[in-house]
Chain A
Amino acid sequence: AQTVTQSQPEMSVQEAETVTLSCTYDTSESDYYLFWYKQPPSRQMILVIRQEAYKQQNATENRFSVNFQKAAKSFSLKISDSQLGDAAMYFCAYRSLMEYGNKLVFGAGTILRVKS
C-alpha cells in the first residue's frame, strides 16, 4: 500500500516571501499522479497543482510550483510571493493508476500561516 508523509505539521511565512512544504511518498509503482490540495477555513478542498510521474518537468501554476524528485520519492510545493489568502491546510496526495476507483491517499497535512 502507498503512504504519503508530510513531516511539517505547521509552517509560517511572511507575506510576499517564499515557503516550501515537504512531501515524501512510498510506492512500488512506476506510474502515478501526485497532487497538492488546499483546505482553507471554509473547509472546501481546492486543487492547487498536479504532477504526472512520467513527466520530468516540474508542474507550475502561477505562484505555485513543485519540485518532483521521482527517485527520492519527494514532491515539495513552493509558494512564491505568499499572500494572506494562502493561509490554509495543505495536503499532499497520491493516486495510483493500478487500482480501481482512482482513490487518493493523503498525507497528514501542513498548516500554513501567513504573517502580515
Chain B
Amino acid sequence: DVKVTQSSRYLVKRTGEKVFLECVQDMDHENMFWYRQDPGLGLRLIYFSYDVKMKEKGDIPEGYSVSREKKERFSLILESASTNQTSMYLCASSLGGTVNTEAFFGQGTRLTVV
C-alpha cells in the first residue's frame, strides 16, 4: 500500500520564521511534488523533483525552496514565512516515465502564519 507521509497535519508559525515541511514516500517513486491548495484556486504546483537532487520550479515558486537529498524525502522550505503563505500544503509522489501513473498524496499540512 503506497504511503506518502507529511510530517505535520497542522502547523502554526510566526511571520519571518524559516519553516520546513517534510514529506516521505515509501514506494521508490522518482517524482515528488509540492502543491498549495487554496479555496477557489484548486491545487497549484510550487516545486517538483524527478530525481534525487533535481528540482524544477512549478507555477508559484516565489518564497519557497525545496530539497531532495534522498529519493524518498522531499522537503519544502519557506525561507521567511509570511501571512500570505497561510494555506494547505499537499505533497505527492508518482512513478517516472510516460506510463499512465497516478500521483499519490499525503494528508496535507495546514499551515497558519501569524
Contacts and interface: CB of A to CB of B under 8 A. Distances in A.
Interface of A: 4, 6, 9, 33, 35, 42-45, 47, 50, 52, 91, 97, 100-109
A108 B42 contact: yes
Interface residues of B, number: 29
Given A50-B102, A101-B56, A42 B107 contact: yes
A57 to B, nearest CB: 14
Given A52-B100, A106-B43, A109-B42, 13 more contacts: A4-B42, A9-B40, A45-B105, A91-B43, A101-B31, A101-B56, A101-B96, A102-B31, A102-B94, A104-B43, A104-B45, A106-B44, A108-B42
Contacts of A50: 100, 102
Contacts, number: 59
Interface centre among B49, B100, B101 (most CB of A within 10 A): B100
Contact of A101 (B48, B90, B100, B102): B48
25 contacts: A6-B42, A9-B40, A43-B107, A44-B105, A44-B107, A45-B92, A45-B105, A50-B102, A91-B42, A97-B98, A101-B50, A101-B56, A102-B95, A103-B33, A103-B45, A103-B48, A104-B43, A104-B92, A104-B103, A105-B45, A107-B42, A108-B40, A108-B41, A108-B42, A109-B42
